[in-house]
Every structure is written in structure tokens, then in C-alpha cells.
Structure 1
Amino acid sequence: MSREDFYENIRNSTRLNHFANLVNLAAVDGVIKPEEEKLLKRFSRKFDVSKADYERILENPASFPVHAINSKTQRLEFLFDLLLIIYTDHEMDQTEEFLIKKYAVGLGFSEEQAHVIINKSKKLFENNFSFDFYHRFIESDDN
């Protein structure tokens, strides 16, 4: 199944909430930087976010809840999207790390799983790679 087909199966509200989570992480430092805005626009197209919803979410992204996701692969893909936003500036600060762990738990990972996944992710996000590589790396037991 392609990534596009994968996201077509997600309920609209879940897509909007996930997009709001991306916006919330982008704005965590008080301003959405141009590179973050470019990525947000790409995600808004990916998730079929209307212009009206985009503006509404930009006004108050924290008002959208995080929804637990049943599929572990889908949770990882949502987490991957959030990490892409965080690493637009090539680093994760303490506030971003706190929020991403909170989102990981909200998506359905246990606190222990979230801790392990975030730590593995921090090692990876210093480089560019595909979601398939990320998925295999996170699922491996040797790291």
C-alpha cells in the first residue's frame, strides 16, 4: 500500500488533529520559521487540509487533541511526520522532546516505548533517510 493510499484511509478528524500537532510543534518556540511553514504546507496537502482549516489550526493548534492510533505502523508514520517538523532546524530542544514524547504516548505508545523510539529517532535524524529505513530501524532490537 502506498503512503497516499495509507492516508486516504484515515478519518478526516484524525488527519486534522495530526496536522494540528505538527503545527503545534512547529510553533513551540514562538514562531513558525519559513522552512517549517514550507513543510507544513506540504503536510496540509498530504492530509487534504482545507485553507479554512489550515487557518483555524494556525490560530490555535493546541485545541486539537491527539488521537490514539491502532496501527503501530501508522503511529510510527505520524511520529515520523512530527520528527520531520522538529528537525527542520537540525536539532531537538528540551521543549520539543517533551512534546514529542507526550504526542507519542497520545498516539498509543507506552511511555517506555515512546522513550526508546524518541532516543533511537534522535540518533537517526542527524541524517536524511526514508520512512521505510526509519520503520526497520525502530523495529530492530539491536540498537
Structure 2
Amino acid sequence: MPILDLYEHGDHRKNLAHFATLATLAAVDGEINPNEKALLDKFAFKLDITDAEYKEVMKKENKYPIETPHSGEKRLMRLFDFFQVIFSDHEIDDVERKMVEKYAVGLGFPTKKAEEIIKKSIAIFTGKIAFEDYLYLMEK
């Protein structure tokens, strides 16, 4: 088996674990609503999740560990995906917030840094950011 096949398999396993975490988050407040389902479908396509894998993740307890990317940018990308799922219904509840805090620490962010990132992310996703922050984001 070529080394490339091993790499692709490992990469797919990480994507599957990330998708399983997103699905768990979507279901944490009970049922998965239509907006969350649509977003999960989008992530399934983006992460190359097969129909069989999708069904397996949706029907069983999440058995996939959190895979910690080595790159800080990839960690932030995983959190960004997480926040997209959370805010698919335009709000964040206490259960979702606690879950994203655990996920951020699981991704390797120190607790203090995770709290800071989550606070900023909530401000961005709810549209409650200061003009200076908005200006900075627009200039980037």
C-alpha cells in the first residue's frame, strides 16, 4: 500500500471524527432541526463523508475522538465550523456553549485562550462586535 493511501486514510479519519463531533453538537439540545441538518449535509459533502458514514454517525453514540490538528489555523477552522453549526439556529444555549468550551480545550487551546476565542467568536457570530474589530476584519 502506497504511503499516500495511508495519509489519505488518516486524513479521512480525522474528517470523520470532526463530522461526528459536529453532529453531536447539533443533537446536544435534543433533535436536529432543519437548519442544523442542512449544515451537517454541507459539512458531510465538504469533508467527503459517505452516505453510510453519515448514517452511522447519526444513529450511534459518537465513538470518534477529537483529532487535534497541529496547525493553529486548522484548529481555528475546526472551531469556526463548530460555530457555524451552533449558530445555524441563530442562537447559542448553555449546553452548546459548554460543549464548544470542551471542544476548544480538546483541540489543544489552553483554557484561558479557549475562553477568549469563544467570547470573540460569539461576538462575531451574533453581530455584536465593536466598530474597530469590524474595521480590522474588513481590512484583512
Give me the TM-score of the superposition, normalised by structure 2: 0.82
* 1:116 alignment partner in structure 2: 116
CA distance in 1, matches of 2:126, 2:115: 18
Contact 1:21 1:61 in 2 (8 A): no
Partners of 1:47 and 1:94 in 2: how far apart?
Answer: 27
Structure with bigger gyration radius? 2
Kindly indicate whether the alpha-carbon contact (under 8 Å) linking 1:20 and 1:61 is maintained by their aligned counterparts in 2: no
Gaps of 5+ in 1: 1-7, 128-132, 138-143
Whole-angstrom distance in 1 between the partners of 2:77 and 2:122:
15
User: 1:90-124: per-residue Cα shift (whole Å, max 9, x none)?
Assistant: 11111100000111111111111110000001101
Residues 29-73 of structure 1: per-residue CA shift (max 9 Å, x gap): 110000110110000000000000000000125221111111000
For 2:19 and 2:62, the matched residues in 1 are separated by 11
1:40 matched to 2:77: no
2:125 aligns with: 125
Distance 1:37 1:80 in 2: 17
SS at match of 1:109: coil
Unpaired segments ≥5 residues, structure 2: 1-7, 128-132
Q: Root-mean-square deviation (CA), in Å?
A: 2.0
The alignment's TM-score, normalised by the length of structure 1, stands at 0.80
Give me the whole-angstrom Cα distance separating, in 2, the residues matched to 1:93 and 1:78.
Answer: 19
**For the Cα contact (< 8 Å) 1:24–1:62, is it kept in 2?**
yes
Structure 2 CA distance for partners of 1:115 and 1:81, relative to 1, 3 Å: same
Runs of 4+ in 1 over 6 A off after TM superposition: none
Counterpart position of 2:130: none
1:94 aligns with 2:90: no
